[in-house]
Chains A and B, each alone.
Chain A
Amino acid sequence: MNEVVVDIKHVKKSFRTKKAVNDLSLSVSRGKITGILGPNGAGKSTMIRMLMGIMIPDEGEVIYHLESNEKIPRSRIGFLPEERGLYKNEKVMDVILYLADLKDYDKEKAKSRATALLARLGLEGHEKSKIEELSKGMAQKVQFIGAIIHEPEFLILDEPFSGLDPVSQDVFKEEIQALADNGTAILLSAHQMNIVERLCDEIFLIHKGEKVVYDTVNNIKEQFSNYKCVLVNTDHTYPFSDDERVERVELEGNQTTIHFHQDVHPLSYIRSFPDDLHWDELHIDRKSLHDIFVSIAKGEDS
């Protein structure tokens, strides 16, 4: 299943003199989770707002391939914005039904779906509670339900895990995966790299409004995730970085992390260690998505 639901083609958006988004192109397909990553101010929210029609691109276009007469088929799209909030004085069920109504979703179907989703997310019995009576995490779950109540074909999730405890994060992960398995195209913006790495099929990484990389998670790791070697309780005065195979060395507590250049396998380097070099533990690993993200954000892998 690789049916594209939305194509973003060469979009540009500037605010006065600042280029927020510069010539970005992206496609999101049914049943796939596309991660949109980037440091704060990279242009993710602007991209998402252009996708939702909240902002209009200065150049380029957003083309939906969903059956609808509208240019932006809002009723077929679900959106969980980064700026979280609901009507504080209103009841949980009333707010969910209003959001479903705005999406032209049948009221009775919305009611039974809301009841089921509330139960699944541990909010059973809170239908008549006011939003202000809920904890932040519970309110976030209500908003998540509001974003998916109308069975959207395309779902945009902007930082869905922020502020959630690990248990709730797991619940959200399962729900998001289940939606994708049912054919929903999902665009996910998140800073939790471990979650992104596990959930996303492909990643669109941007920095300062420009595309850095757009590929599958595996390809990105192939491309960017060089090996690294962690030595615990070793002699940190040893000149590890003198070797041309070493990109950089990081010292943190009793750990020394050696980052290798691309195509360097750490085994050949380890074999060259002198016999009297002591260590308690040695770990060999590839750079995580987190490392890649940090490197890119710091401009090291540009």
Chain B
Amino acid sequence: MRSKKLKVAKWEIKRNLQNKTFIISTFVTPAIFMFFLLIGSFVGGNDEPEMTEVGSGTTDLEVAVHVAGDEEAVESFQSIAIEEAVVAQYEPFDGDVSELEERASEEAIAYVHIEDPTSATLVVSEEFTNGTMLIRTEVQQLLQSMQLAEVGVEPAERELVLSTTVPIQTISSGEEFAWLEDIIPAAFGGIVLLSIIMTGMMTLNSSMQEKKDKIAETLLSSVSPNQLMQGKILGYFVVGMAQVAVWLLLVIPFAEIFSDFTIIEHLFTPLTLLYLLYAVLGYLLFASMYVALGATMEDASTASNLTGMLMMLPFLPFALIWVFISDPNGIVSIVASYFPFSASAAMIVRIVMLDELPVLEIVISLLVLVVFVWLMMNAAGKVYRTAMLMSGKNVTPGEIIRMIRHKD
């Protein structure tokens, strides 16, 4: 026979997974993410790694390049160029090289200065932007071809030798994505934490609605208040995780296809488990607080100031997130690591930002969280079972304190 806690959890899971609003929000969030990813991919315009090919000989620039220098060499270069050049048009220059040098300082030109058949210089003015590298490679090839012709190599053989090109591919360094190794498990932990804080808030609505719908007493005639409360916490945890699972199932394949990220290989690491542990403890703390707060209210809009402040507590670390990132070893970050309501988020960020795992701090913050989860669940149980039966008014902060102090 299943425990009643599990029955309550199953009911809450079923209700939420059939709830239109929940379904829409579950699918819309990754859809928005994918939309922006797709837009980014189209705007970026290139789904290959950044790569420049040089010397493939397939570009036809039709750029005019003057050839000057040793007369004989220029002539023989020219005869080869007429047959083999594809990148630029090489035009012999009759005047002195110094003239070209002068012009290069004034206008955008390029010229090849051939001193002898084995030595040539490509000179370009600063303003010349027409594929200098390609022209240089072609000039080199033409010079080599010229030399090979001089030693009697036939044009077909020359082509065979010179067509063996080694394209240069400039690929963005793998180091660019090295940060993913640290970020992905933490981002996963952060997403889980955020998602289950949101679903934790749903436990507040659930108890508030049950109180409003006056079904609490019927339920409490079948299950104990603690079973009901724990069933809700468990049920909404599964709902939150299901939401994250849907997001990952939709986003990961999409990101793998349309971007350069390799999420999967960085996702399943021991650190992910640590982040998950922080997220789960954070959830238990917030959800038990929310479920009890929900029982104290008839309506969220009439909540007392204290209740409103308590409701906002789980969002406190998100306001401090930049402090944790910019100064992970600062006093604010360290104090936040030991404050139960910010410990999860603070530690997830700090572990990413710090070079070494602060093992002692991890142990202390986990201990703080475990103790506070236990205390919170006890206090929430006391508040929940009394407040759920108080109808017609919101429970005052004084009454909440009295409920918590009441001995069983």
Contacts and interface: CB of A to CB of B under 8 A. Distances in A.
Interface of A: 49, 52-54, 56, 74-75, 77, 79, 81, 83-88, 90, 98-99, 101-104, 143, 146-147
B218 interface: yes
B266 to A, nearest CB: 41
Contact of B221 (A54, A88, A90, A98): A54
Contact of B222 (A86, A88, A90, A99): A99
B1 A104 contact: yes
A85 B216 CA distance: 8
B15 interface: yes
Question: Quick one: which of B8, B222, B385 has the most chain A CB within 10 A?
Answer: B222
B221 A52 contact: yes
Contacts of B217: 49, 54, 79, 81, 83
B389 A101 contact: no
B7 A101 contact: yes
A85 B218 contact: yes
> Nearest 4 pairs between A and B by C-beta?
A85-B214, A79-B221, A102-B222, A81-B217
A146 B218 CA distance: 9
Contacts of B213: 85-88
A83 to B, nearest CB: 4
Interface in B176-229: 213-224
Contacts, number: 57
Contacts of A54: 217, 220-221, 385, 389
Contacts of A99: 218, 222
A86 B219 CA distance: 10
B11 interface: yes
Contacts of A104: 1
B4 interface: yes
B207 to A, nearest CB: 13
Nearest to B386: A55
Given A49-B389, A54-B389, A90-B15, A102 B215 contact: no
A52 B219 contact: no
Contacts of A79: 217-218, 221
Contacts of B396: none
Contacts of B222: 74-75, 99, 102-103
Interface string B233-246: 00000000000000
Interface in B277-313: none
Interface of B: 1, 4, 7-8, 11, 15, 213-224, 385, 389, 391, 408
A87 B267 CA distance: 40
Contacts of A86: 213, 215, 218
A56 B219 CA distance: 17
A88 B214 CA distance: 10
A11 B4 CA distance: 28
Contacts of A83: 214, 216-217, 391
Nearest to B227: A102
A52 B8 CA distance: 19
B218 A74 contact: no
19 contacts: A52-B221, A54-B217, A54-B220, A54-B221, A54-B389, A74-B223, A77-B221, A81-B214, A81-B217, A85-B214, A85-B215, A87-B15, A87-B215, A98-B7, A99-B218, A101-B7, A102-B4, A102-B219, A102-B222
A53 B215 contact: no
A81 B11 contact: no
A118 to B, nearest CB: 18
Nearest to A80: B218
Nearest to B1: A104
Nearest to B402: A16
Contacts of A90: 15
Nearest to B215: A85
A84 to B, nearest CB: 6
A102 B3 CA distance: 9
Contacts of B391: 83
A81 B218 contact: yes
A29 B145 CA distance: 115
Nearest to A132: B213
Contacts of A53: 224
B224 to A, nearest CB: 7
B387 to A, nearest CB: 13
Contacts of B11: 98, 101
A53 B327 CA distance: 53
